[in-house]
Structure 1
Amino acid sequence: MDENEVNPFSGIPTHAVGLRLARSVIKMSHAPTWRVDKSNQVHDLMICLTGSGKYEIDGNYFSLTPGQAFLAPAGTRFIGQSTSTERYTGIAQHFTLELFGTVDMIGQMTLLPTATIPDWHIIGPMVQHYHDTAPATSTTLQQHHMFMTILLKYLEAAFVGWREKPLAPWKDKMLCRSTLCWLRPALLRNHWKKTSWSAH
């Protein structure tokens, strides 16, 4: 099986992706009566550690139990509530993920809103550590790298497909080391106008 069929992100060069944590992590600890109705200007990834929750987007309902994650894309109104008698705990992280600083990578993908995170026996303790150690009012370099690992695990599990058909292979090896190129031609032209790249 081709590597990209197993991991759709394996052909993207590391320098192409920019993660920004829009705020400090929200350390969820919700009582059984908790309910929220909101939207955010950035993407919001919620991961359940204990208890359970339920979210609604446009009349569609998604349940969340320990080891599962729910993504509310930027600008999406969602309603959330606790569905367990014990406290519903976990993390909610607001973020942006861009390619070359101009393209919303999340917007280029079709994703399942909820997914069970692979290797939870490894990622679960990382999420708990992220919850326990993240500063209340700031973000740190360590937090940034941990969340990138957590986010990629969710994306691998939730990935359905790319919204755009792949383009021809990039000739510039500095930009891409494989045939993976999922950006719109117009966006690529805009990027090339802004930045001058030299072949390596």
Structure 2
Amino acid sequence: MRDFEGTASWAVALPPPLRPSTYGVSEVTRSWHQLSVRERASSMNPSTTLYRRQNIGSEVESSTIEKQRKELQLLIGELKDRDKELNDMVAVHQRQLLSWEEDRQKVLTLEERCSKLEGELHKRTDIIKSLMKKVKTLESNQMECQTALQKTQQQLQEMAQKATHSALLSEDLEVGFSFRRTLLV
């Protein structure tokens, strides 16, 4: 036994107090019962009684220590199991974090690519708008040219008709002139 200062004190050899909730009522009862039976048996010799009390105290103390040792081993086993579970959870969590980081990098890469493609799309849209304006201008120029061509063809046709008419008239005049000549002659 140790006193309050932490030094060994063998003057009183009582077993340490047992807590019924921890060690069970039967052990406490059995220990004190054994102590009282031994005391009655050697009540005449105080040194024997003291020795027996010390012996019972040490037996109770050693059984208590053994039980505490077993409890500690069980607790250590539980802690090892919990530690393994926590390590497994940490490993799973780390894999999830790595997967999340990979997905995040993919998203960032896709966002950059999307931004570049949107820029290209705007450029091409502007080019298409510019080309559409040119096409409309060319179409209106083509319409004007078509109209001018049709007018020119119509004028050419009219001139050809006039030339044909003039040629016929000229021929008629020559025929008429030569006929008159023959008549006059």
TM range (shorter): under 0.3
Query: Structure 1 length as normaliser, TM-score?
Result: 0.21
Query: Greater relative contact order: 1 or 2 (C-alpha under 8 angstroms, separation 6 or more)?
Result: 1
Larger Rg: 2
